[in-house]
Amino acid sequence: MSTKVAVIGSGNIGTDLMIKILRLSESLEIAAMAGIDPASDGLARARRLKVATTHEGVEGLVALDEFADVDIVFDATSAGAHRHHEEVLRPLGRTLVDLTPAALGPYVVPPVNGDAHLDAPNVNMVTCGGQATIPIVAAVNAVTPVHYGEIIASIASRSAGPGTRANIDEFTETTSSAIEKVGGAARGKAIIVLNPAEPPLIMRDTVHCLVSDCATEAVTASVEEMVGRVQAYVPGYRLKQKVQYEKVAAEDPLRTLAPGAGDTLKVSVFLEVEGAAHYLPAYAGNLDIMTSAALRTAERMAAHATEVASR
């Protein structure tokens, strides 16, 4: 029996997520989509696909007959809006999968801690940059402690809609925090770059980790294994080149970011993410990895709920 879900947000992310659920998921069934723009392409597509719709936001969603059967609600709006949505939906007993940087619930990055918060009422998918890079930080940290982790996410300007642009501060704060809490780095920093190049370039991510001198072969193997785990649900996720290592000289200012590390290595990993083009163009890998991660998370939560109910 499938678990019924709803999507709040009829923009690019919400619409791509809806189509992924319809095309890819064997365990989730989309019952409704809510937006605030009656003329949005997302709501129009939902209606054509026989999905119940409302342009009256979360209040309209709750008023739909279809809402009674919904167990999981995806929020693909903004950090500010999510706080209101949580206030409305939490008392109604719905589980929220939050694709905004609001971070009201625990962070979830599927290949790192995908099974850690299956009973949580609200889980946060961090950010697109976080979903792409935190698995790498965690892979390095699994071999040797990461004293400092820094990520740079470069996305096509065209793929950054109004929600992304409005949440730039939240993006950096949420991603930096998740690099530490999920990736395991002692300190984390995140940078986002909106690339205006034409034609648009696909998402590129750079991960730098400062670690104590270690067995680089083991780090490389751990990173490559993690890339394979992400590719299981984001086929366009890949290493751009081999993992790079550089000894940090004793007088290098970088040493101040890793106090007490002794002999220090900088590990650099270069990634690119090509989208599956279900709704968004292929260059919008940043949005594709978010919707793919949210779908994977909700499927795990639904399977867990079914298992608990059958005991």
Mind giving me the DSSP string for 175-240?
Answer: HHHHHHHTT--SSEEEEEEEE--SSPPPEEEEEEEEEES--HHHHHHHHHHHHHHHHTT-TTEEES
**pLDDT (tens digit, 9 = 90+) per residue, 242-295?**
999 999 998 999 999 988 878 999 999 999 999 999 999 999 999 999 999 999
Average pLDDT, the chain: 95
pLDDT of residue 207: 98
Give yes or no for a contact between 245 and 266, defined as CB atoms under 8 angstroms apart.
Answer: yes
pLDDT of residue 161: 75
pLDDT of residue 194: 94
Please state which of the ranges 95-109, 151-165, 201-215, 225-239 shows the lowest mean pLDDT: 151-165
Residue 232: pLDDT over 90: yes
Coil, helix or strand for 116?
coil
Please state which of the ranges 48-52, 165-169, 185-189 shows the lowest mean pLDDT: 165-169
Give yes or no for a contact between 61 and 10, defined as CB atoms under 8 angstroms apart.
Answer: no
pLDDT of residue 61: 98
**How many C-beta atoms lie closer than 10 Å to residue 50's C-beta?**
8
DSSP E strand boundaries for the chain: 3-8, 28-34, 52-54, 72-75, 95-98, 122-124, 146-156, 188-195, 203-212, 237-239, 244-248, 264-273
Average pLDDT over residues 149-173: 88
pLDDT of residue 168: 85
Give the span between the Cα atoms of 42 and 18, in whole angstroms.
9
- Report the amino acid identity of residue 46: A
Residue 216: pLDDT over 90: yes
pLDDT of residue 262: 86
pLDDT of residue 311: 83
The topology (CATH level 3) of 3-125+288-310 is Rossmann fold (3.40.50)
Please state which of the ranges 105-109, 143-147, 216-220, 258-262 shows the lowest mean pLDDT: 258-262
Q: Where in the chain is the domain with CATH 3.40.50.720?
A: 3-125+288-310
Annotated catalytic residue 214: no
Q: What percent of the chain has pLDDT over 90?
A: 92
* Annotated active-site residue in 13, 73, 125, 128: 128
Q: How far is residue 166 from each of residues 10, 38, 81, 173, measured CA to CA in Å?
A: 16, 21, 11, 13
> What backbone torsions phi and psi does residue 294 show, to the nearest 5 degrees?
-65, -40
Q: How far is residue 287 from each of residues 50, 64, 144, 191, 294, measured CA to CA in Å?
A: 24, 28, 31, 17, 11
Residue 1: pLDDT over 80: no
Residue 167: pLDDT over 80: no
Residue 229: pLDDT band (50, 70, 90) is very high
pLDDT of residue 43: 98
Q: How far is residue 254 from each of residues 39, 230, 243, 296, measured CA to CA in Å?
A: 51, 30, 19, 37
pLDDT of residue 261: 78
pTM as predicted: 0.96
Q: Where in the chain is the domain with CATH 3.30.360.10?
A: 128-283
What's the N-to-C CA distance of the chain in angstroms?
Answer: 16
Question: Which run of H or E residues covers position 305?
Answer: helix 285-310
Give the span between the Cα atoms of 171 and 298, in whole angstroms.
22
Structure tokens at 286: 């940043």
pLDDT of residue 42: 97
Residue 160: pLDDT band (50, 70, 90) is confident
Residue 147: pLDDT over 80: yes
Residue 75: pLDDT over 90: yes
pLDDT of residue 193: 94
Specify the CATH number for 128-283; select among 3.30.70.260, 3.40.50.410, 3.30.360.10, 2.40.110.10. 3.30.360.10
Average pLDDT over residues 174-203: 96
